[in-house]
């Protein structure tokens, strides 16, 4: 066996340590079955990193990440670090990490399990056939554009500014990835923008159209973000691959989680130019339930499956984890967010039992 792959484990804040622990153990079991060793190196990020080092993304963490094949992350943030005038914020750790790793595409698949139809507020017939992946641009747009910040006004007021900026290069690479992924699926890309108002969206739409010409086998449609938000609820099965700007993607994927039954179920993979990726559930640190052992670890476990697939070239391990999760749900295991009483640890154990 060649050397063990190193995974940087960044549990973060709130429920982060509980859910990453279950996901780590699922990945270990899966890789061991495939005859491959993995080694986890833990590092600080977010609020806990601020408490210990004063920085949300300490240099020691960047070093661990640089030496790793992939990063498995829990979540960051919490009321303790939430003061509006805070100088350092846990979220800076996550955003800084995405930027430092150069992971510009965030894949968020949504494929609701039929057994969880009751957990959603939508009618079952709306959910039939829903199988989409949202590709959220991750290192540009409103989250990173300059200038940003506050300036005091002469009259005593204050002005705050954020900037939505995209280059053609940034748009082209993420839209191209969306088309490649669509080629392996139902061959449809929905590019979501606000081209009736925003110049950056008009450039986005123009580049998406250009890229689409290189993929004659894939249908491209453009949709404005407001009407796309409505369609996600009224006709979710009509989407295959969605590609969109950073903040639109952030908002639409929380909405899409409603289709699955709980925010706690959705995984994500953040990818850049190479095989190294960042894997995290799409939900936050849930400080209200932290430490109680009741958080749903499925979103993180499925993120670990994506890690195996995209960063460890272990598609078999990914499929084994995904199948075990589906069977665990089919067998009736439900954490509190899904209306049940299964603990975080029992859920993780049930998945590992089904990986055998």
Catalytic residue check, 162 = no
Catalytic residue check, 148 = no
Q: How far is the CB of 217 from ligand IPM (least distance, A)?
A: 31
Say which of 194, 240, 279, 337 is annotated catalytic.
Answer: 194
**Residue closest to 95 by CA, chosen among 107, 70, 77:** 77
Say which of 250, 279, 333, 337 is annotated catalytic.
Answer: 250
The backbone torsions φ and ψ at residue 136, rounded to the nearest 5 degrees and listed phi first, read -100, 125
Catalytic residue check, 194 = yes
Q: Which distant-in-sequence residues (6+ apart) come within 8 Å of 146 by Cβ? A: 163, 165
Does 97 sit near ligand IPM (CB under 6 A)? Answer: no
Omega into 275 within 30° of 0, i.e. cis? no
Q: How far is the CB of 156 from Mg ion (least distance, A)?
A: 35
Q: How big is the site for ligand IPM, counted in residues (CB under 6 A)? A: 6
Residue 318 token pair: 């990914």
Does 250 sit near ligand IPM (CB under 6 A)? Answer: yes
**Residue closest to 307 by CA, chosen among 320, 317, 298, 297:** 317
Judged by CB under 5 A, the chain residues 79 through 138 that form the site for Mg ion are none
Per-position b or e across 265-282, b if 16+ CB within 10 A of its CB: bbbbbbbbeeebbbbbbb
Q: Of 15-23, 124-132, 214-222, 245-253, which part binds Mg ion (CB under 5 A)?
A: 245-253
Catalytic residue check, 143 = yes
DSSP state of 88: S
**Residue closest to 227 by CA, chosen among 247, 209, 246, 252:** 252
Residue with Cβ nearer ligand IPM (282 or 318): 282
Asked whether 333 and 346 are in contact (CB, 8 A), the reply is: yes
Does 193 sit near ligand IPM (CB under 6 A)? Answer: no
The backbone torsions φ and ψ at residue 288, rounded to the nearest 5 degrees and listed phi first, read -65, -25
Q: How far is the CB of 282 from ligand IPM (least distance, A)?
A: 5
Position among 28, 91, 115, 162 found at the interface with ligand IPM (CB under 6 A):
91
Position among 94, 252, 265, 295 found at the interface with ligand IPM (CB under 6 A):
94
Among ligand IPM, Mg ion, none, partner that 94 touches (CB below 5 to 8 angstroms by kind): ligand IPM
Residue with Cβ nearer ligand IPM (81 or 204): 81
Say which of 13, 21, 143, 193 is annotated catalytic.
Answer: 143
* Site string (131-170) toward ligand IPM, x via CB under 6 A: ----------------------------------------
Does 250 sit near Mg ion (CB under 5 A)? Answer: yes
Q: Where are the beta strands (DSSP E) in 272-325?
A: 277-279
Indicate the helix (H) or strand (E) that contains 329.
helix 315-330
Residue with Cβ nearer Mg ion (13 or 215): 13
For the chain, helix, strand, coil in percent to 5 are 45, 20, 35
* Site string (43-82) toward ligand IPM, x via CB under 6 A: ----------------------------------x-----
Cα(342)–Cα(336) distance, rounded to whole angstroms?
A: 7
Cα(76)–Cα(61) distance, rounded to whole angstroms?
A: 14
How many other C-beta atoms are found inside a 10 Å radius of the C-beta of residue 7?
A: 26
Q: How far is the CB of 228 from Mg ion (least distance, A)?
A: 17
Does 255 sit near ligand IPM (CB under 6 A)? Answer: no
* Residues at the interface with Mg ion (CB under 5 A): 250
Active site residue ranges: 143, 194, 226, 250, 254
């Amino acid at each position: 066996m060649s050397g063990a792959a190193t995974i940087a484990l960044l549990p973060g804040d709130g429920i982060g340590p509980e859910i990453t622990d279950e996901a780590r153990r699922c990945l270990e079991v899966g890789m061991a079955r495939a005859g491959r060793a993995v080694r986890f190196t833990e590092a600080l990020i977010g609020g806990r990193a601020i408490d210990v080092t004063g920085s949300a993304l300490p240099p020691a963490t960047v070093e661990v990440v640089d030496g790793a094949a992939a990063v498995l992350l829990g979540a960051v943030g919490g009321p303790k670090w939430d003061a509006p005038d805070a100088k350092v914020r846990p979220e800076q750790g996550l955003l800084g990490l995405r930027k430092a790793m150069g992971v510009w595409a965030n894949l968020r698949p949504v494929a609701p399990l039929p057994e969880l139809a009751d957990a959603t507020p939508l009618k079952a017939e709306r959910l039939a056939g829903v199988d989409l992946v949202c590709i959220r641009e991750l290192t540009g747009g409103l989250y990173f554009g300059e200038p940003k910040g506050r300036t005091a006004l002469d009259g005593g007021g204050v002005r705050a500014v954020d900037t939505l900026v995209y280059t053609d290069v940034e748009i082209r690479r993420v839209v191209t990835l969306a088309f490649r992924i669509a080629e392996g699926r139902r061959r449809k890309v929905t590019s979501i923008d606000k081209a009736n108002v925003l110049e950056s969206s008009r450039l986005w739409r123009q580049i998406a159209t250009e890229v689409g010409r290189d993929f004659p086998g894939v249908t491209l449609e453009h949709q404005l973000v407001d009407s796309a938000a409505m369609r996600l609820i009224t006709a979710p099965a009509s989407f295959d691959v969605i590609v969109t700007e950073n903040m639109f993607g952030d908002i639409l994927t929380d909405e899409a989680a409603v289709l699955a039954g709980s925010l706690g179920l959705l995984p994500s993979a953040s990818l850049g130019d190479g095989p190294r990726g960042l894997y995290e559930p799409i939900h936050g640190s849930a400080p209200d339930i932290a430490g109680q052992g009741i958080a749903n670890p499925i979103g993180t476990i499925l993120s670990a499956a994506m890690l195996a697939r995209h960063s460890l070239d272990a598609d078999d391990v990914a499929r084994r984890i995904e199948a075990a999760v589906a069977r665990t749900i089919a067998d009736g295991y439900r954490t509190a967010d899904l209306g049940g009483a299964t603990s975080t640890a029992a859920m993780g154990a049930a998945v590992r039992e089904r990986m055998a």
